[in-house]
A and B are shown apart, each in its own frame.
Chain A
Amino acid sequence: MTELRHRGPTEKDLLQQQQESESEVRTDGEAPSDSEIKPDPGVPPTVDDTPEVLSKALSGMSSRWKNWWVRGILTLAMISFFFIIIYLGPMVLMMIVMEAHACLSVSLPVCVSVCLSLCRYFLLCVNYFFYGETVTDYFSALVQREEPLRILSKYHRFISFTLYLTGFCMFVLSLVKKHYRLQFYMFGWTHVTLLIVVTQSHLIIHNLFEGMIWFIVPISCVICNDIMAYMFGFFFGRTPLIKLSPKKTWEGFIGGFFATVVFGLLLSYVMAGWRYFVCPVEFNNDSNRFEVDCEPSDLFQLQDYTLPSVLQSLIGWETVRIYPFQIHSVALSAFASLMGPFGGFFASGFKRAFKIKDFANTIPGHGGIMDRFDCQYLMATFVNVYIGSFIRGPNPSRVMQQLLALRLDQQLHIFNTLRAHLIEKGLLSAIEEAA
């Protein structure tokens, strides 16, 4: 959020100052690199996208407050939209994530028309690869039933690689004599964008399949951190945090941190009670729908914890009943508050580097979708790595698939080893086996 973090000049004034100082710098002789791309011919001046109805309602106020209200209303609209979608279910969520990152890639202003089609083609290839992997993992029964799907899934990597190679060869053949460097830059740019945006969307979907709570809580924590840091900065902000974003302050940062941790604890307490959020999403072959029903794991069952003596004297309770998941949520919120802003700084630096105010004008008052999601990316990867390292092991259906793909003698060998292991652990008694 580029809004005011401390009481000072309005956004516009700050931007003007910024531009002035940067043009001063330019005359000092930084010239060649930055004048390479003069005000990008492709980037239109900021268009005011605010819908008519809002403009009318707020016509009375001064522009500063009007801006504030527009942002506030849009924020509430987006949050409500988010909760409606959650209610509608995982399928819709998946589609929304796909749409969002498709928009993201398009909103980057620097892609020149020369390479635009190639950029889109690579985006298509990488998406095909990732979604194919998702489908193979989670919809295995559906895949086994349909013959064409089975072949596509069996040779999935090969097909994706072939598609990518075709794009690569087209790129090489399309190299035009005078524009080599630009074309290589576009190529590199496309790949880095794909790496950042698409990989992490894919990870978000993985998190979603683990249980909607793993999708909702991280995203909510980041949004909350944004809003809380802004509030704290607005009311208490004094000391600037980093040269890169002059409107961020230490007070906002720390206040946001504590507020987010508390919020995370409360939200996970509320959500962990509902199976809809807690169970892994499964695709039911018979009814051809998503099913979210299960026995909640230990993570989502209330347990007693003895408070450390420090807190005991403070709060006056000896034990407290919380979900173990809430402890994990503290880790997630801490990460969101501490690292999330780095994603924001990265995006700010990026916008400074290319002299753009916002990534696009999709959302009035907020800029493009990328502006809203810049803090989310690191979060998505972190949650995925966290789940993979600390929560769950490998995906059982995938292991089953791999098992069935092995040769029969290998399967037998594994079967025997597994049986010995289970008997050792007492899960299978030898007598049961013989029966």
Chain B
Amino acid sequence: MTELRKRGGGDRDAENISDKDTDGEDRFGLGGEGDRDSKPDTDTPEVQPSVDNTPKCLNKALAGMSSRWKNWWIRGILTLTMISGFFLIIYMGPLPLMLMVLAIQIKCFQEIITIGYRVYHSYELPWFRTLSWYFLLCVNYFFYGETVAENFGNLVQRDEPLQFLVRYHRFISFALYLSGFCMFVLSLVKKHYRLQFYMFAWTHVTLLIVVSQSHLVIQNLFEGLIWFIVPISTVICNDITAYICGFFFGRTPLIKLSPKKTWEGFIGGFFSTVVFGFIFAYLLAQYNYFVCPVEYSESNSFLIDCEPSDLFVLQDYTLPSVLQTVLRWKTVKIYPFQIHSIALSTFASLIGPFGGFFASGFKRAFKIKDFADTIPGHGGIMDRFDCQYLVATFVHVYLTSFIRGPNPSKVLQQLLVLQPEQQLSIFNTLKSHLTETGMIPPAIRGP
């Protein structure tokens, strides 16, 4: 699909050509510029040719077509498969969703670490992979422990060993991390100091990016499935609509880093995503299943049932006069959440692509075509999720800043742990505050 280079899209083949350009320039620049970047070219091992992972049945069915359309069909089918899989898991409930997020996180981590390992493996660094997985385990233990402590309060209270683990959770996680740190220091081998430090930093940055953000995704999920589904869907939609708009109308290149992206695709994608987000939010906001916070009930299962908050109750909004003349409606009934969804879609369309550019730059820097070959036609899992990371963090920050306040059960938990004098003083302050605001009538104070 090299002809389609100018017209937007996320085609893989054309990237190869741009990679070769980079190689050629680097070779010319070797002597003259003393560019530090050019030297490592000689020690980067050959990139393995991409393995064709396409299942046999697909291959047979598409045997007749030319390779251009075959590729297009494979991508299309896989896209639909992934989206349906996503909705199926949503239907199955919060626990499969959490497991899915965990699985994706592990796969992304593995892909990035494999790249680092591949770039430097000819030096036989001892312990690198073991240590990386160990650090992944530690950080996951820390984050999932915090999640369990926050959201599974009932479960924790019943079990004695769990209570102990939760109480000293930070200390245990820190001790685990320290052991990893000491193992790293003890494993430093004389000739490979620099490489080992690079790999140490690589592991930590990957953990920072991949693991902490998947943790934020799970936090969003507990706030209500809609806060999980709508952002992810808007990013996927932005990808697809930007590709389609670029395919049909693409002329002006967007950024040197990704020559296949165009301004037409970018802007078209922006508007379609906002509209999509608006409509999709309207659809989802009607169901309690999506709207209510996920809670873990006494009966060992997830409970998603509640009185929807104001955000998810239809309200009348008066249209500004501009829109009134256009649409000839005076007021419109929408969910307040839809207004928030505009903010989310805007972010996904404007800043999400920067995550994609970052990943493209990363691939260029390390001369790889895709992160891995897990998904036929699409590359690795990291390729699919590169835009999602910033969006996940944004949604979390947005939630905590604008939507919800602190979690009442968490506040209560903290209260009960305080010293008795502190509890008393807080009690008195709270009492005066509530009396002031009229929640407690001053005269009546029953037992």
B-binding residues in A (CB < 8 A): 25, 30, 32-37, 154-155, 157-158, 161, 165, 168-169, 171-173, 175, 177-185, 188-189, 191-192, 195, 242-244, 339, 342, 345-346, 349-350, 352-354, 378, 381-382, 385-386, 388-390, 393-394, 396, 399-400, 402-415, 417-419, 421-422, 425, 427-428, 430, 433-434
Question: B68 at interface (Cβ–Cβ under 8 A)?
Answer: no
A342 contacts across to B, CB distance below 8 A: 181-182, 185
User: Whole-angstrom distance between the alpha carbons of A59 and B30 in the complex?
Assistant: 49
User: Whole-angstrom distance between the alpha carbons of A51 and B190 in the complex?
Assistant: 36
Taking a contact as CB atoms under 8 Å apart, the answer to whether A396 and B426 are in contact is: yes
Chain B CB within 10 A, most for which of A168, A400, A425: A400
B425 contacts across to A, CB distance below 8 A: 396
Question: B171 at interface (Cβ–Cβ under 8 A)?
Answer: yes
Residue from the list B190, B402, B429, B430 in contact with A25, Cβ < 8 A: B190
Chain B contact patch, size range: 35 or more
**Which residue of A is nearest B309, CB measured?**
A407
The stretch from B9-17, B91-99, B101-109, B194-202 touching chain A is B194-202
Taking a contact as CB atoms under 8 Å apart, the answer to whether A182 and B362 are in contact is: no
Can you list 6 A-B contacts (CB < 8 A)?
A33-B123, A157-B401, A178-B29, A188-B205, A349-B185, A402-B411
**Which residue of A is nearest B424, CB measured?**
A427
Residue from the list B37, B182, B204 in contact with A195, Cβ < 8 A: B204
Taking a contact as CB atoms under 8 Å apart, the answer to whether A354 and B194 are in contact is: yes
B406 contacts across to A, CB distance below 8 A: 402, 405-406
In residues 396-416 of chain B, which contact A (Cβ within 8 Å)? 397-398, 400-402, 405-406, 408, 411-412, 414-416
Residue from the list A191, A244, A413 in contact with B205, Cβ < 8 A: A191
Question: B170 at interface (Cβ–Cβ under 8 A)?
Answer: yes
User: Whole-angstrom distance between the alpha carbons of A346 and B188 in the complex?
Assistant: 9
B365 contacts across to A, CB distance below 8 A: 180-181, 183-184
User: Whole-angstrom distance between the alpha carbons of A243 and B193 in the complex?
Assistant: 12
Question: B299 at interface (Cβ–Cβ under 8 A)?
Answer: no
A393 contacts across to B, CB distance below 8 A: 414, 417-419
Taking a contact as CB atoms under 8 Å apart, the answer to whether B196 and A353 are in contact is: yes
User: Whole-angstrom distance between the alpha carbons of A408 and B417 in the complex?
Assistant: 22
Residue from the list B22, B198, B400, B422 in contact with A396, Cβ < 8 A: B422
User: Whole-angstrom distance between the alpha carbons of A224 and B29 in the complex?
Assistant: 53
Question: In angstroms, how far is the closest chain B Cβ from the Cβ of A68?
Answer: 28
Majority secondary structure, B binding face: helix
Taking a contact as CB atoms under 8 Å apart, the answer to whether A339 and B178 are in contact is: yes
**Which residue of B is nearest A194, CB measured?**
B208
Report if A36-B197 is in contact (Cβ < 8 Å); known contacts: A157-B397, A178-B29.
no
User: Whole-angstrom distance between the alpha carbons of A428 and B445 in the complex?
Assistant: 13
Residue from the list B39, B205, B420, B439 in contact with A32, Cβ < 8 A: B39
**Which residue of A is nearest B172, CB measured?**
A389
Question: B431 at interface (Cβ–Cβ under 8 A)?
Answer: yes
User: Whole-angstrom distance between the alpha carbons of A409 and B197 in the complex?
Assistant: 53
B447 contacts across to A, CB distance below 8 A: 430, 433-434
Residue from the list B35, B182, B188, B429 in contact with A179, Cβ < 8 A: B35
Taking a contact as CB atoms under 8 Å apart, the answer to whether B174 and A381 are in contact is: yes
User: Whole-angstrom distance between the alpha carbons of A378 and B419 in the complex?
Assistant: 29
Taking a contact as CB atoms under 8 Å apart, the answer to whether B430 and A411 are in contact is: yes
Taking a contact as CB atoms under 8 Å apart, the answer to whether A394 and B423 are in contact is: no
Question: In angstroms, how far is the closest chain A Cβ from the Cβ of B225?
Answer: 22
B194 contacts across to A, CB distance below 8 A: 33-34, 353-354
B390 contacts across to A, CB distance below 8 A: 165, 168
Taking a contact as CB atoms under 8 Å apart, the answer to whether A422 and B424 are in contact is: yes
Question: B1 at interface (Cβ–Cβ under 8 A)?
Answer: no
Taking a contact as CB atoms under 8 Å apart, the answer to whether B412 and A417 are in contact is: yes
Residue from the list A243, A346, A382, A406 in contact with B408, Cβ < 8 A: A406
User: Whole-angstrom distance between the alpha carbons of A388 and B424 in the complex?
Assistant: 21
Taking a contact as CB atoms under 8 Å apart, the answer to whether A352 and B193 are in contact is: yes
A25 contacts across to B, CB distance below 8 A: 190-191
Report if A353-B193 is in contact (Cβ < 8 Å); known contacts: A175-B257, A393-B419.
yes
Taking a contact as CB atoms under 8 Å apart, the answer to whether A385 and B25 are in contact is: no
A-binding residues in B (CB < 8 A): 22, 25-26, 29, 33, 35-40, 42-43, 120, 123, 167-168, 170-171, 174, 178, 181-182, 184-186, 188, 190-198, 201-202, 204-205, 208, 255-257, 351, 354, 357-358, 361-362, 364-366, 390, 393-394, 397-398, 400-402, 405-406, 408, 411-412, 414-420, 422-427, 429-431, 433-434, 437, 439-440, 445-447
Residue from the list A189, A386, A389, A418 in contact with B427, Cβ < 8 A: A418
A177 contacts across to B, CB distance below 8 A: 22, 25, 256
Report if A243-B394 is in contact (Cβ < 8 Å); known contacts: A403-B430, A425-B420.
no
Report if A389-B171 is in contact (Cβ < 8 Å); known contacts: A195-B208, A411-B430, A419-B427.
yes
User: Whole-angstrom distance between the alpha carbons of A168 and B434 in the complex?
Assistant: 44
Question: In angstroms, how far is the closest chain A Cβ from the Cβ of B168?
Answer: 5
Taking a contact as CB atoms under 8 Å apart, the answer to whether B414 and A428 are in contact is: no
B414 contacts across to A, CB distance below 8 A: 393-394, 399, 402
Taking a contact as CB atoms under 8 Å apart, the answer to whether A428 and B427 are in contact is: yes
Taking a contact as CB atoms under 8 Å apart, the answer to whether A178 and B415 are in contact is: no
A430 contacts across to B, CB distance below 8 A: 447
A406 contacts across to B, CB distance below 8 A: 405-406, 408, 411
User: Whole-angstrom distance between the alpha carbons of A422 and B424 in the complex?
Assistant: 8
User: Whole-angstrom distance between the alpha carbons of A425 and B185 in the complex?
Assistant: 49
User: Whole-angstrom distance between the alpha carbons of A177 and B258 in the complex?
Assistant: 11
Report if A412-B440 is in contact (Cβ < 8 Å); known contacts: A155-B401, A350-B197, A422-B423.
yes
Residue from the list A157, A425, A427 in contact with B400, Cβ < 8 A: A157
Question: In angstroms, how far is the closest chain B Cβ from the Cβ of A435?
Answer: 8
Report if A407-B405 is in contact (Cβ < 8 Å); known contacts: A192-B201, A414-B411, A415-B430.
yes
Taking a contact as CB atoms under 8 Å apart, the answer to whether B362 and A413 are in contact is: no
A180 contacts across to B, CB distance below 8 A: 37, 361-362, 364-365
* Given A165-B351, A171-B358, A178-B33, 8 extra CB contacts under 8 A: A34-B194, A182-B36, A188-B205, A244-B185, A346-B185, A399-B426, A403-B415, A406-B405
